[in-house]
Amino acid sequence: MDGWYKTLTRGTEAFLSWRKKRRHVKREKQKKKHPVVDWIEAFLWAAFVVLLINQYVFQAYQIPSGSMMNTLLIQDRIFVNKFIYGPELVPGKFKINGFREPVRDEVIIFENPSYISKGSAFDILQRVLYMVTLSFVDIDRDSQGRPRAHFLIKRAVGMAGDRLRFEKGEVELNLPGTGEWIPERTYPLHDKKEFVTQRLVDKSAYDGIRKAGMGDAFEYALLGIPESYKTAMADSELRYEDSYAWNKYRAEALYAIFPNERRYGTEWRKADMGWYIPRGYVFPLGDNRDNSKDARYFGPVQKTKVLGRAMFKYWPLYRLGSIR
């Protein structure tokens, strides 16, 4: 018993002596260290911690456009929960599984399907700088100095198994097993809607949009154009108020004129019958429906490309609050 006690005592004394000596050496080195070097080390360590948090837990983003008004405004700075859907091991590479997948109505951030990369090395550098500076430094800009849309922030509206279409700019959903089209606001999935979609185009404008689109098809086919269609075509704004609807009406008319041209039929049917969202995909849309480049133009997005869920706004301070 005495031998065991003596051994333990010697071991404890040796450990305490080693720790004391180690702390002394560390203090002496700290005294000799130049203040600038000490400051740089502290900065690098803080940047490393921020980078880890941004990469795996919460990341800061800046809102570049008005596509999510009034939920999110231009220049809003937000934090995105990246842990919930599973973070990437390194920026842009090797995404791992999270606790769950996106659900309907959540505001999500995902990789822009139409983004053209400048190379993996540049992408990683850009994302590291963006994360370390909490979104205040973004080197990924176009020739005019504007930030390029590497990531998009939209609301998850269509989910796997849904069919989704637009009637006069309003979303209609055909949920799995229902067999009927219902307006977005009335689908029986949530008791309360806490967000409001913005419309810039009045429903009364769609008669003119239809005539402008069909009139363009008649002109293309070298056919006679009714006077009311000419009037609508003369209003250059109609084509751009809802270009998705304009193209739908144009394709419908072209398919009626050229029934042998399957591309017109395919384009019209896709708009008329709606998008089908396959398994493993989500259909994101902007809350500002008439000013948003979203899944209507690039199609459903793979859930593996969804990086996180928008959680709360931190800047400007008067906009501080959660995102719903």
- Which pLDDT tens digit goes with each residue over 22-61? 776 666 565 565 666 667 766 667 667 777 777 777 888 8
Residue 248 phi, psi (nearest 5): -60, -50
Q: What is the pLDDT of residue 238?
A: 81
> Could you tell me which of 177, 164, 156, 182 has the C-alpha nearest to residue 272?
164
The pLDDT value given to residue 6: 64
Q: Residue 128 above 90 pLDDT? A: no
What does the pLDDT look like over 149-198, one tens digit per residue? 888 999 999 999 999 999 888 899 988 888 788 887 665 555 555 667 88
Residue 138: pLDDT band with limits 50, 70, 90: confident
Angle at 312 between CA 311 and CA 314, to 5 degrees: 145
Burial 49-81 (b: 16+ CB within 10 A, else e): eebebbbeebbbbbbbbbbbbebbeeebbbbbb
As a whole number of angstroms, the distance between CA 93 and CA 96 comes to 9
Q: Please write the tens of the pLDDT for every residue from 219-230.
A: 999 998 989 888
Map out the domains of the chain with their CATH numbers. 58-173+281-322 (2.10.109.10), 203-270 (no CATH)
298 vs 292: CA distance, rounded Å:
12
pLDDT value of position 285: 94
In this predicted structure, the answer to whether residue 253 has a pLDDT above a threshold of 90 is: yes
Q: Tell me the C-alpha distance between 116 and 149, whole Å.
A: 10
Looking at per-residue pLDDT, the higher value among 239 and 189 belongs to 239
Task: Please state, for a pLDDT cut of 90, what percent of the chain lies above it.
Answer: 27
The residue ranking higher by pLDDT, 133 or 158, is 158
- Write the pLDDT tens digit of every residue in 295-318: 988 899 999 889 899 999 998 889
Residues 6+ apart with CB under 8 A from 107: 68, 71, 72, 153, 154, 155, 156, 309, 310, 323, 324
Cis peptide preceding 316, ω within 30 of 0: yes
Q: What is the pLDDT of residue 15?
A: 64
Which one has a higher pLDDT value, 215 or 42? 215
Q: Which residue has the higher pLDDT, 139 or 190?
A: 139
Name, in order, each residue with C-beta under 8 angstroms of 75's C-beta and a sequence gap of 6 or more.
Answer: 62, 63, 316
Task: Tell whether the model's pLDDT for residue 118 goes beyond 90.
Answer: no
Q: How far is CA 221 from CA 213, 224, 232, in A?
A: 13, 9, 18
Q: How is residue 299 written in tokens? A: 């199609």
**What is the residue-averaged pLDDT of the chain?**
82
Phi–psi pair at 225, nearest 5 degrees: -115, 125
